[in-house]
């Protein structure tokens, strides 16, 4: 059946005012790296252009690579030119660049932290008027996290003395339960939980934030949001990109660590959580924790009913011939790292018992789509004539995270003219193309404002790793893995279809 779309383009959503945070300085560890150049500094620059940074503000970039502040500024200018070609104007850049400084530091040496950070900041803070408030942003490879935390503590930089001190930690947060626990222990020896901001950039996407608003600011959907009306839920994050230049990291991570422990499980928890009594960071995070606690541990003896993993071979993606994963630079020719996974999750509580959540994510797939689709139950009784068949499509509600951000409700409508002919139609809401803040801008602002809602609390890290670590261990212990098992540019491994089909369901096509 073809589906018709009656679309309501919603370009004129009123924009709310964004609060400018209190004065502070941003200290970036790993300032010579890619994240600083491509994401952090361009995000700070956009905030600066939109006048969303406080008056008292400066950035101190730190890394091991020796370079001058001048060289650092030049590197950052190149990064901004590349990532925001339309927004880089000379006057704005000149003013902005004056708030950027760089120093070389040795991560594992507290003395170096004393000399290059503790002794340097007070003078700069006095001039800039930041009130001594500090945000330490750790944007280095994860192997260095612990050294940095240790040196910050040893140099007396983690303590608050009438000022605020925060630390932002990038993902990956550990590579299994044990390493995540160790990192949490090290962090909590130096900082208090309220000072710690563990990033999951998915949470900062407008459309992800909208999940809770949509669920709890409308009275018409929430009464249906349970096992009585919902048949199952699909959460998809499909990419057309491969691993780019990240083989070093990805070979050791794989898709379950890279996408599931964080982004996919966060999307799951926002879809499944109970309404908190208050929209406050800890109340929302308490409810997320309850969802993770209610997930049935994966049955490691029946892996085929729980999980399907895959790795892409060569193929055609976006019209271009692309390499298979094993041919990518830096990847072992016999690598068994999965680039795709489909996972069935059961949440055992009153709301969701018997409603499977199917999660899938992969690289080099047919299209770039991140979405949550809620599949409602079939009508309880088919009263229409048998000539219409029994295949009336059940209603679907689609939360479109990216691209083409918005919400679509699919339902049946009578075809004009005919007596009995029904067709699925779509009621569509779309966000305007350029959302006000991108995920990193939101993360930076919220952290400066001291709002932890979009960051991951220590217990959530523990709970998600507790669920996934045994599964990853079991998968990694398997020999004889038939990789590659999907061609680039396709829907993923054929076996993944079975995960849903075995339950009489179908994946939504990509
Ligand atoms: C990152 C993963 O966290 O998220 C990447 O490490 C992935 O592998 C990326 O490509 C996807 O993010 P987005 O915002 O492009 O969906």
The mean pLDDT of 135-151, rounded to a whole number, is 95
Q: Which of 57, 59, 49, 39 is nearest to 91 (CA)?
A: 49
The answer, yes or no, to whether residue 433 has pLDDT greater than 80, is no
pLDDT in tens, 415-430: 787 677 788 899 999 9
Active-site residue identified among 201, 263, 281, 375 = 263
- Give the per-residue pLDDT at 506: 94
Half-sphere exposure of 79 (CA within 13 A, CB side): 23
The mean pLDDT of 473-498, rounded to a whole number, is 94
For the CA of 200, the closest atom of ligand 1 is: 3
pLDDT in tens, 63-86: 999 999 999 999 999 999 998 888
The answer, yes or no, to whether residue 17 has pLDDT greater than 60, is yes
The answer, yes or no, to whether residue 10 has pLDDT greater than 80, is no
For the CA of 171, the closest atom of ligand 1 is: 3
Judge whether 232 counts as a catalytic residue.
Answer: no
Q: What is the rounded (10 degree) CA torsion for 125, 130, 131, 136?
A: -80
pLDDT in tens, 298-335: 999 999 999 999 999 999 999 999 999 999 999 999 99
pLDDT in tens, 372-418: 999 999 988 877 766 666 568 899 999 999 898 899 999 988 878 76
Between the CA of 452 and the centroid of ligand 1 the distance, in Å, is 21
- Give the per-residue pLDDT at 388: 62
- Give the per-residue pLDDT at 8: 46
Ramachandran angles phi, psi of 95, nearest 5°: -65, -45
- Give the per-residue pLDDT at 245: 86
- Give the per-residue pLDDT at 2: 42
- Give the C-alpha separation, 357 to 350, whole Å: 15
- Best of 205, 263, 340 to mutate for ligand 1, by most ligand atoms within 8 A of CB? 263
- Give the per-residue pLDDT at 250: 95
pLDDT in tens, 215-243: 999 999 999 999 999 999 999 999 999 99
Parallel/antiparallel/unpaired status of strands 24-29 and 57-63? parallel
pTM: 0.93
The mean pLDDT of 14-34, rounded to a whole number, is 90
State the chain's mean pLDDT as an integer.
92
Instruction: Name the pLDDT band for 89 (thresholds 50, 70, 90).
Output: confident
Between the CA of 249 and the centroid of ligand 1 the distance, in Å, is 13
Between the CA of 363 and the centroid of ligand 1 the distance, in Å, is 10
Q: Is 370 in the pocket of ligand 1 (CB under 6 A)?
A: yes
The answer, yes or no, to whether residue 185 has pLDDT greater than 90, is yes
- Give the C-alpha separation, 435 to 496, whole Å: 34
458-477 vs 281-294: helix axis angle to the nearest 10? 30
Report DSSP state, residue 86: T
- Give the per-residue pLDDT at 160: 96
Half-sphere exposure of 20 (CA within 13 A, CB side): 13
The mean pLDDT of 351-368, rounded to a whole number, is 97
Half-sphere exposure of 256 (CA within 13 A, CB side): 25
- Give the per-residue pLDDT at 394: 92
Instruction: Name the pLDDT band for 481 (thresholds 50, 70, 90).
Output: confident
Between the CA of 165 and the centroid of ligand 1 the distance, in Å, is 28
Report DSSP state, residue 371: E
Percent of the chain with pLDDT over 90: 82
For the CA of 401, the closest atom of ligand 1 is: 16
- Give the per-residue pLDDT at 404: 86
């Amino acid at each position: 059946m073809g589906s018709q779309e009656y679309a309501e383009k919603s370009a004129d959503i009123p924009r709310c005012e964004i609060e400018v945070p209190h004065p502070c300085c941003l200290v970036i560890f790993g300032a010579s790296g890619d994240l600083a150049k491509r994401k952090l500094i361009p995000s700070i620059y956009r905030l600066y252009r939109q006048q969303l940074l406080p008056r008292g503000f400066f950035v101190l970039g730190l890394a091991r690579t020796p370079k001058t502040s001048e060289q650092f500024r030049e590197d950052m200018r190149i990064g901004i030119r590349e990532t925001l070609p339309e927004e880089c104007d000379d006057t704005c850049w000149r003013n902005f660049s004056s708030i950027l400084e760089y120093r070389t530091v040795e991560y594992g040496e507290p003395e170096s932290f004393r000399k290059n950070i503790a002794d340097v900041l007070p003078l700069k803070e006095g001039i800039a008027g930041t009130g001594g408030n500090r945000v330490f942003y750790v944007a280095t490879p994860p192997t260095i996290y612990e050294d940095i935390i240790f040196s910050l503590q040893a140099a007396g930089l983690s303590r608050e003395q009438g000022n605020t001190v925060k630390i932002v930690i990038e993902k990956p947060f550990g590579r299994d339960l044990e390493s995540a626990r160790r990192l949490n222990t090290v962090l909590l020896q130096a900082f208090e939980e309220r000072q710690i901001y563990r990033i999951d950039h998915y949470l900062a996407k407008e459309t992800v934030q909208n999940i809770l608003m949509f669920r709890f600011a409308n009275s018409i959907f929430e009464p249906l949001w349970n096992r009585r009306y919902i048949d199952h839920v699909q959460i998809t994050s499909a990419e057309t990109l491969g691993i780019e230049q990240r083989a070093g990291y990805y070979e050791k991570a794989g898709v379950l660590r890279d996408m599931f422990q964080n982004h996919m499980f966060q999307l799951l928890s926002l879809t499944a959580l109970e309404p908190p009594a208050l929209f406050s960071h800890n109340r929302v995070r308490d409810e997320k924790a309850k969802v993770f606690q209610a997930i049935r541990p994966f049955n490691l003896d029946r892996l085929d009913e729980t999980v399907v993993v895959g790795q892409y071979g060569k193929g055609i993606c976006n019209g271009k011939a692309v390499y298979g994963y094993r041919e990518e630079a830096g990847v072992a020719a016999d690598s068994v790292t999965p680039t795709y996974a489909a996972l069935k999750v059961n949440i055992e509580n009153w709301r969701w018992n018997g409603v499977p959540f199917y999660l899938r994510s992969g690289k080099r797939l047919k299209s770039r789509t991140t979405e949550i689709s809620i599949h409602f139950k079939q009508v309880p009784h088919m009263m229409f004539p048998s000539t219409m068949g029994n295949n009336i499509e059940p209603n679907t509600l689609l939360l479109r995270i990216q691209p083409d951000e918005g919400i679509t409700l699919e339902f049946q409508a009578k075809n004009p003219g005919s007596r009995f002919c029904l067709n699925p139609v779509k009621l569509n809401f779309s966000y305007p193309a350029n959302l006000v803040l991108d995920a990193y801008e939101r993360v930076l602002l919220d952290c400066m404002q001291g709002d932890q809602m979009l960051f991951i609390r220590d217990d959530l890290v523990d709970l998600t790793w507790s669920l996934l670590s045994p599964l990853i261990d079991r998968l990694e212990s398997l020999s004889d893995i038939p990789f590659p098992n999907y061609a680039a540019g396709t829907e993923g491994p054929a076996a993944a279809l079975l995960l849903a089909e075995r339950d009489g369901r179908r994946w939504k096509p990509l």
